[in-house]
Amino acid sequence: MAQIKSLKDLESLKNSVQEIIDTRVKGNKDGLVQIKVAMGTCGIAAGAKSIYNYFLEQVDAKKLDVVVYQTDCMGRCSEEPMVEVAFPDQEPVIYGNVDKAKVDEILDKLGK
Amino acid sequence: MAKFKMHILVCGGTGCTASKSQEIADRLKSNLLDKGLENEVQVILTGCFGFCEKGPIVKIMPDNTFYTEVKPEDAQEIIEEHIIKGRKVTRLLYTDPDKKEHVADAKHMGFYKKQLRIALRNCGFIDPENIGEYIACDGYAAVAKCLTEMTPEQVINEIKLSGLRGRGGGGFPTGMKWEIASKNHADQKYVVCNADEGDPGAFMDRSILEGDPHSIIEAMTINGYAIGATKGLVYIRAEYPLAIHRLQVAIAQAREYGVLGNNLFGTDFSFDIELRYGAGAFVCGEETALIHSMEGKRGEPTFKPPFPAQSGYLQKPTNVNNVETYANIPIIILKGANWFNKIGTEKSKGTKVFALAGQINNVGLIEVPMGITLREVIYEIGGGIKGGRQFKAVQTGGPSGGCLTEKHLDTPIDYDNLIAAGSMMGSGGMVVMDETSCMVAIAKFYLEFTCEESCGKCSPCRIGNKRMLEILDKITKGNGTMEDLENLKNLAGVIKDTALCGLGQTSPNPILSTLTNFWDEYVEHVQDKKCRAGACKSLMQYVIDPNVCVGCTACARNCPVNAIQGEKKTPHTINLELCIKCGTCIEKCKFNAISIQ
């Protein structure tokens, strides 16, 4: 481990380790957009896991202020993979038959 | 390395460790390995979450699910149901006792709502054995700022402006203490962390050391820079093996990363820390006794002045600060004194960590802003008195403090208000009592402790406390007189005024405050030979109810002193003069005919 010999060294180390605790920081923060991916058996069978992973990848890459959770089956099994998007203090919106293209669309619209 | 998608935080404080939290963590890891998820889900042991009543605690992030009373056997279900299927394990969620519903996340729990975790900011959040996680939370940024952007005077001024006062109990302004040490010149100065934490039942400092040891290392380095000291010592009691281990790991990592040692952050300031172990003497929590103990002498206090800031360890200028005081330093530097001094009351800024114990529902570690009332702490955060019983008193400040009663419940908690009410802040122990607590017995309990711990150097403490204890013993055994009560009061006053150090000066506090607030109870013990709480065994009478007793003779046959008389099949009686109150008769009676009154 290279020693920290200056303020700059500390800052660059901090940037590289930040992601270790990022998930925890987001979990504690209020006011973030919450994205819940249904991961009941039906969801997993319909490919929800890769949607969940793709969400996480994209949120990280675009550095969005979004926290992604997995949750249980939402009930409408024929429309899996299902995703719920909740803005703070607003009614959540549920999307059905979500694929990677839809993920991109959802995340694009978030920025606006 | 791909980022972990979910984090499982398992409480690794001593309390939860004693309840197998290490095993819970191990089983979670092995279950994850079985399911091939070891690279997606991280399990870490953190410091204390504070909700000790409901431990072991397991928290899942990012969904912020708070599981309570977890057992190692639950690990598989947590992985299979929550991690894989996203279904919370509802039976492990906290149940709100009033609304009788599950509360999934800590933000909505009565226990946490009014807390403000500053000293405990990283406890329950980071892995204390990983310096990377501390750095990710702005760790060592404060000391870097001090060393590269501030002069020692500026650092001292910032701490003075913050209004931070010593959290060990004395409440002396920290900035002023640092200023005095900085103005005394010597070829070597020292910075000492007082981690002795002798108050029975107190574990604020232990939790900070177990959960966030780097914050103390950083703060001591800042203190060293401010006063011109290059050596730091942590005096930690040997009874804290986990805290010692975490501190040793942290110091080793800090040295490895170059934040302890020579030429820190490319400046010419060097600082390093060593550990010294206490051997179980309460008096060594007093700073002069602590210093002498570190010097290899018997832990006895000496007169102040000179204060350690003028002449301390090895007669050099020394700053001795409590663990919790230090825990506040890095964040004051980072967020600024003006952020800190907006919290709390006019003369008591910031927060205080309390170890909430006794007859209360939510036993554990809490951190609240100064100025919160006792009522809020006991009823909202503490969840009220156990078993729905009546609140009687709350002892703050441990063996140096006093009891506060119902009339003090709306007092805002701060240094000066507690002293005005006949108690003191102390290091943060808060013991709640209900109607089953005998105030005379409580005073005796604390005095027994201080007598045992007295170093013996000065007569008021060595002899005076012993005499007070003898009087209290007489009273609890039913042999007290009104003259005894007068003597007790006078003796307490004299000891307070004449003892050499804080131990002796404050040991009469529990007695004086119980005499003031519970005079009737003392008189009852003395004149009526009665203990209304039912705690003083010698004052209790064992009585057979003649309406229930069937005369089976089981009690009489088993009484070791033949104190029970009666004919077969007729109600028996106990001769109170012979009765030794051993309780055998109650054990043997199959009809519940015998009671203690």
pLDDT tier, A70 (very low <50, low <70, confident <90, very high otherwise)? confident
Q: How many residue pairs bridge chain A and chain B with CB atoms within 8 Å of each other?
A: 96
Spatial contact of B226 and B178, defined as CB atoms under 8 Å apart: yes
ipTM of this complex prediction, to 2 decimal places: 0.86
pTM here? 0.90
Q: What DSSP string runs through B140-178?
A: THHHHHHHHH--HHHHHHHHHHHT-B-TTTT--BHHHHH
3-state secondary structure B471-489: HHHHHHCCCCCHHHHHHHH
CATH of range B131-340; options 3.20.20.70, 3.30.360.10, 3.40.50.11540, 3.30.70.3450: 3.40.50.11540
CATH architecture for the domain at B351-434: Roll (3.10)
Interface test with A, best of B135, B149, B259 (most A CBs within 10 A): B135
Within 8 A of B9 by CB-CB distance, chain A residues are 24
Between chains, do A1 and B140 touch, taking CB under 8 Å as contact? Answer: no
pLDDT of A1 reads: 61
pLDDT tier, A44 (very low <50, low <70, confident <90, very high otherwise)? confident
Between chains, do B62 and A14 touch, taking CB under 8 Å as contact? Answer: no
Within 8 A of A27 by CB-CB distance, chain B residues are 7, 61-64
Nearest to B61 among A3, A18, A27 (CB): A27
For residues B559-585, one letter each, b for 16 or more C-beta atoms within 10 angstroms of the residue's C-beta and e for the rest, the string is beeebbebeeeeebebeeeebebeebb
In eight-state DSSP terms, residue B340 is H
d(CA B453, CA B438): 23
pLDDT digit string (tens) for chain B, length 597 residues: 457 889 999 999 999 999 999 999 999 999 999 999 999 999 999 999 999 999 899 999 988 899 999 999 999 999 999 998 888 999 999 988 888 888 888 888 889 999 999 999 999 999 999 999 999 999 999 999 999 999 999 999 999 999 999 999 889 999 999 999 999 999 999 999 999 999 988 999 999 999 999 999 999 999 999 999 999 999 999 999 999 999 999 999 999 999 999 999 999 999 999 999 999 899 999 999 999 999 999 999 999 999 999 999 999 999 999 999 999 999 999 999 999 999 999 999 999 999 999 999 999 999 999 999 999 999 999 999 998 899 999 999 999 999 999 999 999 999 999 999 989 999 999 999 999 899 999 999 999 999 999 999 999 999 999 999 999 999 999 899 999 999 999 999 999 999 999 999 999 999 999 999 999 999 999 998 889 888 888 888 889 999 999 999 999 999 999 999 999 999 999 998 888 888 899 889 998 889 887
Give the homologous superfamily in CATH for domain B6-109. Glutaredoxin (3.40.30.10)
Q: How many angstroms separate the CA of residue B125 from the nearest CA in chain A?
A: 7
Nearest to B144 among A1, A10, A39 (CB): A10
Considering only alpha carbons, which residue of chain B is nearest residue A6? B265
Distances (CA, A) of B104 to B79, B94, B119: 17, 7, 25
What are the residues of chain B with a beta carbon less than 8 Å away from any beta carbon of chain A?
A: 3-7, 9, 61-64, 84-88, 107, 125-126, 132-133, 135-138, 140-141, 144-145, 148, 256-259, 263, 265-266
pLDDT of A111 reads: 64
Considering only alpha carbons, which residue of chain B is nearest residue A28? B64
Between chains, do B140 and A4 touch, taking CB under 8 Å as contact? Answer: yes
CATH of range B439-528; options 1.20.1440.230, 1.10.1060.10, 3.30.750.210, 3.40.50.800: 1.20.1440.230
Nearest to A3 among B9, B64, B257 (CB): B257
Within 8 A of A60 by CB-CB distance, chain B residues are 3
Report the alpha-carbon angle B123-B430-B440, nearest 5.
155
CATH fold for the domain made of B541-596: Alpha-Beta Plaits (3.30.70)
Name the helix (H) or strand (E) containing B586.
helix B584-588
What are the residues of chain A with a beta carbon less than 8 Å away from any beta carbon of chain B?
A: 1, 3-7, 10, 13-14, 17-24, 26-28, 30, 38-41, 52-53, 56, 60, 67-72
Residue ranges covered by each domain of chain B? 6-109, 131-340, 351-434, 439-528, 541-596
Of B166, B164, B115, B122, the residue nearest B140 (C-alpha)? B122
Q: Which domains does chain A possess?
A: 29-110 (3.40.30.10)
3-state secondary structure of A93: strand
Tokens 């007859």 -> residue: B359
